[in-house]
Structure 1
Amino acid sequence: MKKILMLITGAGLVLASCGQEKKDTNATEEVYAESTMEVEAPEVVEVQTPNIVGVAAGNENFSTLVAAVKAADLVNTLSSTGPFTVFAPTNAAFDKLPAGTVDTLLKAENKAMLTDILTYHVVAGKYMAGDVVAAIKANNGKFMTNTVMGEGITLMMDGENVVIQDAKGGKSVIIMTDVAASNGVIHAIDTVIMPKG
């Protein structure tokens, strides 16, 4: 009889302890639920793509171009809504010009000439590399478009490369494509192109 009573008492203790564990578990779940409710969602920060001037200023290969844009007072124009497609000469492209040319162009008295040269590298509208190649193919291998300056440039293929021919017959190769900006796109070129004037 004592053994049976001890077994029943033991079973009662086991059941009681199980009940207590269940209560503790529920209490833990409630605390966890409360703590998760207090956690706020992280704030989403949108990273805005800079405009054409901002993108160029952030790339050391365009430092001469940025200096020229500032000297010609074109920062506001190229920072406006656009969209624009800019065929941007690299520093190496400017280095190909005859010695002293860049310094001469950056002088205040040559601002009009510098403005003409720079706006000759800009086309109204956003034309990705694929659009340019499609336009060349759709026009029997040569596509002419007007620049913001007013004179035209001719785009053509040379093997896999897109080449720009300027009004004087000079040629430049696009060496980097589709650099995104908030108000258009930049394609880097290896030679400065020149208008007739």
Structure 2
Amino acid sequence: MKLSKFVAAALVAGAATVAHAKDIVDTAVGAGSFNTLVKAVQAAGLVETLKGPGPFTVFAPTDEAFAKLPAGTLENLLKDKEALAKVLTYHVVPGKVMAADVKPGEAKTVQGQSVKLSAMGGKVMVDDANVVAADVVASNGVIHVIDKVILPN
């Protein structure tokens, strides 16, 4: 399963010192389960931003999460750079928020709207997406893997 490959990569990345850790984009590329996300980030022109100093907290949908979108949704977003950027930046919160620091409530995204954060019984959710792997440390922030693409209003 691709997710277990990502978790193994995350453990290796987490073991690296911050000075040698990859940035968010390179960490996602190296994981192998974020090909669609990386393609979308490239299409939206956000690569340099997410390689920047940050720090950023990225709620990263897997390839499987993107596959759950209604037919044609991803293709339409890839053709509309502005709409794509809005969706992608809705997955990013300024600062480095580790799972242990998540408090129920709202967090303002880079896109401008807020996501709803909840934590119950060791399960963390962002809007209606489950965090399936948390605290993947990158040199410029942290990635939390989610099982669904979240969409702004």
SS of residue in 2 equivalent to 1:157: strand
Looking at structure 2, the residues matched to 54 and 105 of structure 1 have their Cα atoms a distance apart, in angstroms, of 23
Map 1:7-86 → 2, pairs under 5 A: 48-86=20-58
Same amino acid, percent of matched pairs:
51
- Please name the residue that 1:36 is paired with: none
Looking at structure 2, the residues matched to 105 and 158 of structure 1 have their Cα atoms a distance apart, in angstroms, of 33
Size of the aligned set, in residue pairs, is 136
- Please name the residue that 1:99 is paired with: 71
Structure 1 runs, 4 residues or longer, greater than 6 Å off = none
SS of residue in 2 equivalent to 1:154: strand
- Please name the residue that 1:126 is paired with: 96
Aligned CA RMSD, in angstroms, stands at 1.3
- Please name the residue that 2:62 is paired with: 90
Offset of residue 103 of structure 1: 1.6
SS of residue in 2 equivalent to 1:187: strand
Q: Which amino acid aligns with 1:120?
A: Y
**In structure 2, do the counterparts of structure 1 residues 147 and 92 end up closer, same or farther at CA, with 3 Å as the change threshold?**
same
SS of residue in 1 equivalent to 2:20: coil
- Please name the residue that 1:43 is paired with: none
- Please name the residue that 2:117 is paired with: 155
Q: Which amino acid aligns with 2:81?
A: K
Offset of residue 47 of structure 1: 7.2
**In structure 2, do the counterparts of structure 1 residues 164 and 63 end up closer, same or farther at CA, with 3 Å as the change threshold?**
same
Q: Which amino acid aligns with 2:139?
A: S
Equivalent of residue 173 in structure 1, options 130, 136, 139: 130
SS of residue in 2 equivalent to 1:103: helix
Q: Which moved more, 1:152-161 or 1:173-182?
A: 152-161
Does residue 143 in structure 1 map to residue 105 in structure 2? Answer: yes
Higher relative contact order (Cα pairs below 8 Å, separated by 6+ residues): 2
Map 1:102-113 → 2, pairs under 5 A: 102-107=74-79, 110-113=80-83
Does residue 164 in structure 1 map to residue 121 in structure 2? Answer: no
Looking at structure 1, the residues matched to 121 and 150 of structure 2 have their Cα atoms a distance apart, in angstroms, of 20
C-alpha distance after superposition, 1:150-184 (max 9, x if no partner): 0001101243210111xxxxx00000001110000
Instruction: Judge conservation of contact 2:132–2:146 (CA < 8 Å) in 1.
Output: yes
Looking at structure 1, the residues matched to 21 and 88 of structure 2 have their Cα atoms a distance apart, in angstroms, of 23
Q: Which runs of 5+ in 1 are unaligned?
A: 1-45, 137-141, 166-170
What TM-score, normalized by structure 1, do the two folds share? Answer: 0.67
Looking at structure 2, the residues matched to 148 and 116 of structure 1 have their Cα atoms a distance apart, in angstroms, of 9
